[in-house]
């Protein structure tokens, strides 16, 4: 967790109704101020938790995330220490608090050519000498991923083309281009679009393409093109392509701009956007699928948002993540690692894992096997990419960013075909029915036998076959996926010998989330407890003792957590 020299923001989860929200915000501010913590309330949108509800009408609890900005910078105090101080001050006014950290998502350095390298041919045909990454197949400018040999998305979408049912997809990314020809006007004009970037128009999700340090404008346009791009006419190495670019071009897409850059985005942005789409579903405007080609560190706030979306019947697919030579991690990132989320991993043109030993080459995250039970794989790199730099379709789409919208499109196609049957199910059953069809129909074997012996670790449930999925009828007898939560660290069990009360449980949850984030960012800590592969409950006391010492000495550990671990050695 790098320091940003910016004011610390906190996400405070409060038990409140919308009627009480203003008074609760004032009460919360006063309690924090009484302990010397002055905050500015940034937002306090209500979100609902359905984690214990049997159905939507059985709602038991309401939780509201309040986002506050403190006057302290992260160079002055560890954000987790500020969270603990605020929790002590808030008392029962806060169910849980965590810092609103900047999540780092590894994005390709070679997604687009610089503008000064573009030429007339690029604008004329969507082709240039460096249009694709020559380190991967296909080594030519072709639109290949839609075909029967690969995702089968074209055949599947053609099969439901005459179905008038409206499928809605929430698209969480950097927004859309206001001018790129691949983005349909229906997306730009959708009144349900939202912007969660502070300081921008909350009802306008277009990407203004701000340049600057760590900015990568246009990522949302690229993923949106793969998801729901309109009809395009292109010259390719395989001849003219005159068809829809998007796997689910028919869908009503609700764009949610959650960041200026794919590389960095805040914890609150994903939670707020997903909660917004969940609220739409509960109010009668059902969102069927959510696609997000981003991700980062573990978050309890994310787990709660995912649980609510699942209970509301939203199929959520997010990117498994990318890495360079295994850094920052070779394994699936969050929220893709959650059980109620479908992780989108990569598979290459030649049906191999999206992996390379080259140090300077981006590749996809996958594994460990225990976290691949809900994963699917789709095709990347060198997929078509709606480029805002060239104003054309390039062929340099890469990363699990390109795989994610393909999985989302397959889910949307399945819903469109079987909407009558799916709409009769309880909301969470719809998610399971879609996943069941996609999992059962997925390709389970690749040509190179080297990768079949450990197939699940690389590809999860398999490689999407969208047309094959349509052959599987809706299953209504599937089990519910358990609630998502943070992986529990047994070294915390000694803090309370008896069952903790609400405030004590909150403290434990905060310690646990901080530990999860420390492990996520520290290869050294992961190695001590056998990486992500380990079942924490089966690790011996010697390993936990070594781990505890390493956490205590880690410079990123909060003073509050360090003191607890020392006191309980």
Is residue 52 assigned to a domain? no
CATH number assigned to the domain comprising residue 439: 3.40.50.200
Structural domain of 307: 134-469
Q: What is the pLDDT of residues 228-277, one digit of tens each?
A: 999 999 999 999 999 999 999 999 999 999 999 888 899 999 999 999 99
Query: 224: number of CA atoms within 13 Å, CB side?
Result: 34
In a domain, 167, yes or no: yes
**Which pLDDT band holds residue 359 (cuts at 50, 70, 90)?**
confident
Which residue, 469, 502, 532, sits at the end of a domain? 469
Global pTM?
Answer: 0.92
Give Cα 502 distance to the centre of its chain: 29
- 422 and 553 both lie in a single domain: no
Note whether 448 and 517 are same-domain residues: no
Identify whether 58 is part of a domain. Answer: no
Q: Which of 403, 437, 469 is the last residue of a domain?
A: 469
If asked whether residues 151 and 255 sit together in one domain, one would say yes
3-state secondary structure 70-111: EEEECCCCCHHHHHHHHHHHHHHHCCEEEECCEEECCCCCCC
In the chain, count H helices and then E strands. 17, 20
Stretch among 54-68, 78-92, 297-311, 327-341 having the lowest mean pLDDT: 54-68
Positive or negative, the CA dihedral 368, 369, 372, 373 is negative
Report pLDDT for 464: 98
Q: How much is the pLDDT for 534?
A: 83
Pairing of strands 231-236, 239-244: antiparallel
Mean pLDDT of 381-401: 93
pLDDT at position 393, please? 94
Q: Could you tell me if 506 and 447 lie in one domain?
A: no
Before 305, cis peptide (omega within 30)? Answer: no
- What is residue 48's predicted lDDT score, i.e. its pLDDT? 41
If asked whether residues 149 and 188 sit together in one domain, one would say yes
Q: Distance between CA 147 and CA 155 in Å, rounded?
A: 8
Angle at 482 between CA 521 and CA 489, to 5 degrees: 35
Residue 532: inside a domain = yes
Placement of tokens 């905050």 in the chain: 39
Specify if 34 maps to a domain: no
pLDDT of residue 156: 98
Q: How confident is the model at residue 56 (pLDDT cuts 50, 70, 90)?
A: very low
Q: Are 363 and 331 in contact (CB under 8 A)?
A: no
Q: Are residues 423 and 368 in the same domain?
A: yes
Q: Which of 377, 399, 476 is nearest to 434 (CA)?
A: 476
C-alpha 221/C-alpha 107 separation (Å) is: 14
**Separation CA 378–CA 469 (nearest Å):** 14
Residues 419 and 557 in one domain: no
Domain count, the chain: 2
pLDDT at position 337 is 97
Does residue 65 fall inside a structural domain? no
289 near 315, Cβ under 8 Å? yes
Give the C-alpha separation, 301 to 513, whole Å: 10
Say whether both 279 and 347 belong to one domain. Answer: yes
Q: Per-residue confidence at 443, pLDDT binned at 50, 70, 90?
A: very high
pLDDT tens digit string along 219-236? 999 999 999 999 999 999
465 and 499 assigned to the same domain: no
Residue 515 lies in a domain: yes
Domain-located, residue 297: yes
Name beta bridge partners: 159.
none
The tens digit of pLDDT for each residue in 493-552 reads 876 656 677 778 899 999 999 999 999 999 999 999 988 888 898 999 999 999 999 999
User: Collapsing DSSP states into helix, strand and coil, what is residue 393?
Assistant: strand
Return the pLDDT at 23. 58
Cβ count within 10 A of residue 448: 11
Res 352: pLDDT: 98
Angle, vertex CA 242, rays to CA 240 and CA 245, nearest 5: 115
Domain boundary among 438, 469, 500: 469
In this structure, the answer to whether residues 497 and 369 fall within a common structural domain is no
Whether residue 295 is found in the same domain as residue 381: yes
d(CA 507, CA 491) in angstroms, rounded, equals 14
DSSP string, 475-490: P--PPPPPPP-PPP-G
Q: Are residues 553 and 435 in the same domain?
A: no
The rounded percent of the chain whose pLDDT value lies above 70 is: 88
Task: Give tens-digit pLDDT for 205-220.
Answer: 999 987 644 456 799 9
Three-state SS for 315?
A: strand
């Amino acid at each position: 967790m790098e320091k940003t020299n910016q004011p610390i923001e906190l996400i405070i989860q409060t038990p409140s109704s919308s009627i009480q929200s203003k008074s609760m915000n004032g009460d919360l501010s006063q309690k924090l101020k009484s302990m010397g913590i002055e905050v500015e309330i940034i937002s306090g949108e209500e979100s609902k938790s359905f984690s214990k509800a049997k159905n939507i009408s059985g709602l038991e609890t309401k939780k509201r995330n309040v986002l506050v900005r403190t006057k302290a910078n992260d160079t002055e105090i560890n954000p987790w220490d500020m969270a603990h101080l605020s929790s002590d001050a808030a008392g029962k006014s806060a169910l849980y608090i965590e810092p609103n950290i900047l999540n780092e998502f590894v994005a390709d350095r070679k997604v687009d050519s610089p503008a000064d390298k573009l030429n007339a041919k690029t604008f004329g045909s969507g082709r240039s000498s460096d249009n694709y990454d020559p380190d991967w197949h296909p080594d030519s400018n072709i639109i290949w991923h839609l075909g029967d040999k690969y995702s089968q998305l074209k055949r599947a979408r053609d099969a439901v083309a005459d179905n008038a049912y409206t499928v809605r997809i929430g698209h969480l990314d950097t927004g859309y281009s206001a001018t790129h020809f691949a983005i349909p006007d229906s997306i730009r004009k959708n009144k349900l679009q939202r912007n969660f970037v502070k300081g921008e128009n909350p009802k306008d999700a277009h990407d203004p393409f701000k340049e600057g340090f760590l900015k990568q404008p246009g990522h949302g346009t690229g993923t949106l093109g793969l998801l729901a791009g309109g009809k395009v006419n292109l010259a390719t190495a395989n001849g003219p392509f005159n068809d829809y670019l998007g796997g689910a071009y028919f869908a009503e897409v609700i764009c949610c701009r959650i960041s200026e850059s794919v590389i960095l985005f805040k914890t609150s942005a994903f939670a707020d956007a997903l909660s917004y789409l969940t609220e739409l579903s509960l109010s009668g405007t059902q969102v069927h699928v959510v696609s997000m080609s981003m991700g980062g560190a573990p978050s309890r706030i994310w787990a709660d948002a995912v649980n609510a979306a699942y209970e509301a019947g939203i199929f959520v697919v997010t990117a498994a993540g990318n890495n360079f030579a295994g850094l920052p991690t070779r394994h699936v990132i969050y929220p893709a690692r959650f059980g109620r989320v479908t992780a989108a991993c990569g598979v290459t043109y030649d049906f191999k894992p999206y992996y390379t030993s080259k140090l300077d080459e981006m590749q996809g995250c996958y594994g460990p096997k225990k976290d691949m039970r809900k994963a699917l794989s789709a095709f990347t790199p060198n997929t078509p990419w709606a480029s805002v730099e060239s104003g054309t379709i390039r062929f340099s789409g890469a990363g699990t960013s390109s795989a994610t919208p393909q999985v989302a499109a397959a889910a949307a196609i399945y819903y469109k075909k079987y909407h009558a049957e799916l709409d009769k199910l309880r909301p969470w059953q719809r998610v399971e029915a879609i996943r069941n069809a996609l999992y059962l129909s997925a390709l389970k074997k690749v040509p190179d036998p080297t990768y079949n012996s450990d197939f699940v670790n690389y590809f999860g449930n398999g490689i999407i076959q969208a047309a094959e999925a349509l052959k599987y009828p809706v299953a209504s007898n599937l089990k519910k996926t358990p609630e998502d939560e943070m992986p529990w660290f047994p070294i915390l069990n000694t803090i309370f010998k008896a069952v903790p009360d609400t405030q004590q449980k909150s403290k434990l949850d905060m310690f646990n989330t901080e530990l999860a984030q420390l492990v996520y960012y520290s290869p050294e800590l992961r190695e001590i407890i056998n990486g992500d592969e380990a079942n924490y409950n089966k690790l011996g006391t010697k390993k936990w003792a070594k781990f505890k010492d390493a956490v205590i000495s880690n410079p990123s550990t909060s003073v509050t957590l360090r003191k607890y671990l020392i006191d309980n050695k």
